[in-house]
Amino acid sequence: MIDFISSVRKAIADENYHCALFIALSIPDICGKLETPNVGNGVRSRRWFEDNLKQKYFPDSIYDYLKATNPKVLEAFPAEILKRIKNQKPEITLEPDVFWALRNAFLHEASDQIKAQKVHITHSESHMNKFDGAIQLSAKIFCEDICDAAIDWLERVKTDKDVWERVNSRAKIKNTILDGAVHFE
């Protein structure tokens, strides 16, 4: 998994945002398969997105969102504002079903047109805005959030022998086969 995460981050650094997004949109499904191999890909990908990215993309409150994305700002808020935002839903969210639809449209059709929600993908520092009913996502931030969630997930599952065995047995791109007996240049 680390090689996929590294590839996403290298693609971002190289400003190759399509490549970064293609790989990043696959990570929830890959991790979901490693964790729950007998569950279908749509269900497991949406579940993984919900379990690992809820606080940043569809939190229960504005407080939860700020705690996940900018916790220092909460220190400056007076108690009455903290109380209010703990009960206030964010206006802009990316639900697991919308994530799944975006993943499918982007990976299979090279499209950001989905039935549930129009999505504008940028490579700016602006992220999670809404314009004329369409969500704006920064490819850079969205991909980094998925990578960070995958790193956290790997840390959580490393003690699960079965999951960790599947993590270590996934496909690898390498120039040797047969335990190093054959090497390709």
Q: Quick one: which of 28, 36, 65, 3 has its CA closest to 153? A: 28
Q: How far apart are CA 82 and CA 99, in angstroms?
A: 29
E strand intervals along 10-80: none
Checking if the pLDDT of 25 tops 80, the result is yes
Three-state secondary-structure class, residue 114? coil
Domain count across the chain: 1
For residue 135, what is the enclosing H or E element? strand 134-138
Lowest-pLDDT range of 60-64, 94-98, 181-185: 181-185
> What's the domain range around 178?
2-55+97-113+144-183
Domain assignment present for residue 177? The answer is yes
The predicted structure's pLDDT at residue 117: 74
Checking if the pLDDT of 1 tops 90, the result is no
Q: How far apart are CA 108 and CA 103, in angstroms?
A: 8
Domain assignment present for residue 122? The answer is no
Checking if the pLDDT of 22 tops 90, the result is yes
Checking if the pLDDT of 11 tops 90, the result is yes
The predicted structure's pLDDT at residue 169: 85
**H-assigned helices in 76-138:** 79-86, 96-109
pLDDT band at 170 (very low <50, low <70, confident <90, very high): confident
Return the number of other C-beta atoms located less than 10 Å from residue 137's C-beta.
Answer: 24
pLDDT band at 116 (very low <50, low <70, confident <90, very high): low
List Cα–Cα distances, 182 to 52, 168, 169, 172, 179, in angstroms: 40, 21, 20, 15, 8
Domain assignment present for residue 11? The answer is yes
Q: Quick one: which of 16, 43, 15 has its CA closest to 29? A: 43
Domain assignment present for residue 86? The answer is no
Domain assignment present for residue 87? The answer is no
DSSP assignments along 95-108, one per residue = -HHHHHHHHHHHHH
* Residue of higher predicted confidence among 112 and 151: 151
Domain assignment present for residue 139? The answer is no
Checking if the pLDDT of 171 tops 80, the result is no
The predicted structure's pLDDT at residue 5: 97
Q: Which residues contact 81 (CB under 8 A, 6 or more apart)?
A: none
Domain assignment present for residue 12? The answer is yes
Contact in structure between 106 and 21 (CB atoms under 8 Å): yes
Tokens read off for 86 = 């703990």
Domain assignment present for residue 103? The answer is yes
pLDDT band at 51 (very low <50, low <70, confident <90, very high): very high
Tokens read off for 182 = 């054959």
Q: What is the mean pLDDT of residues 76-88?
A: 93
